[in-house]
């Protein structure tokens, strides 16, 4: 096994770790779940306010509306949707590089040096995005 191939094996191992670090499941659940809850709360506000003050206290629609507003503000502040998209993009990028490494042995010998350079270029580009987690500090939200 050449030094380049051994490096690719090591990189492939690290890529598996990077792929696992970018699991978008929690952010997806929080983003989509909060959206569903906000829709439910706003619908309930409309229904409850239509019942009249004799059936439901006047504070119930206001409370439901306030809860919906708090959830929208929390999602905006924490950026679950932006983080979900970020983690999906990072995971897909690492998986694409992993696929490139898997394809490397099948290449003709004369094409391997250029392809190896392409792998490292792609890896550097993706690693450069690691610090750009939305809503995590000084990075702009996407």
pLDDT digits (tens, 9 = 90+) for 86-123: 999 999 999 999 999 999 989 999 999 999 999 999 99
Alpha helices (runs of H) in the chain, residue ranges in sequence order: 3-21, 25-50, 59-78, 80-103, 112-127
CB 66 within 8 A of CB 105: no
Predicted pLDDT at 64: 93
CB 96 within 8 A of CB 122: yes
CB 92 within 8 A of CB 22: no
Task: Give the global pTM.
Answer: 0.74
The label of the residue with tokens 């003709």 reads: 108
* Pick from 15, 67, 74, 27: nearest CA to 44: 67
3-class DSSP state of 68: helix
Ranges under pLDDT 50 in the chain:
none
Predicted pLDDT at 55: 65
* Pick from 9, 79, 69: nearest CA to 45: 69
């Amino acid at each position: 096994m050449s030094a380049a191939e051994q490096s690719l094996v090591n990189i492939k191992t690290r890529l598996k770790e990077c792929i696992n670090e970018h699991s978008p499941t929690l952010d997806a659940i929080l983003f989509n779940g909060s959206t569903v809850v906000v829709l439910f709360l706003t619908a309930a506000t409309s229904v409850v306010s239509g019942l009249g003050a004799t059936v439901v206290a006047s504070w119930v629609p206001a409370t439901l509306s306030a809860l919906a507003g708090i959830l929208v503000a929390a999602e905006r502040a924490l950026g679950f949707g932006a983080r979900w998209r970020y983690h999906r993009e990072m995971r897909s990028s690492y998986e694409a590089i992993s696929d490139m490494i898997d394809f490397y042995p099948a290449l003709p010998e004369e094409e391997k040096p250029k392809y190896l350079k392409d792998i490292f270029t792609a890896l550097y580009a993706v690693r450069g995005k690691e610090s750009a987690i939305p809503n995590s500090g000084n990075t702009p939200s996407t």
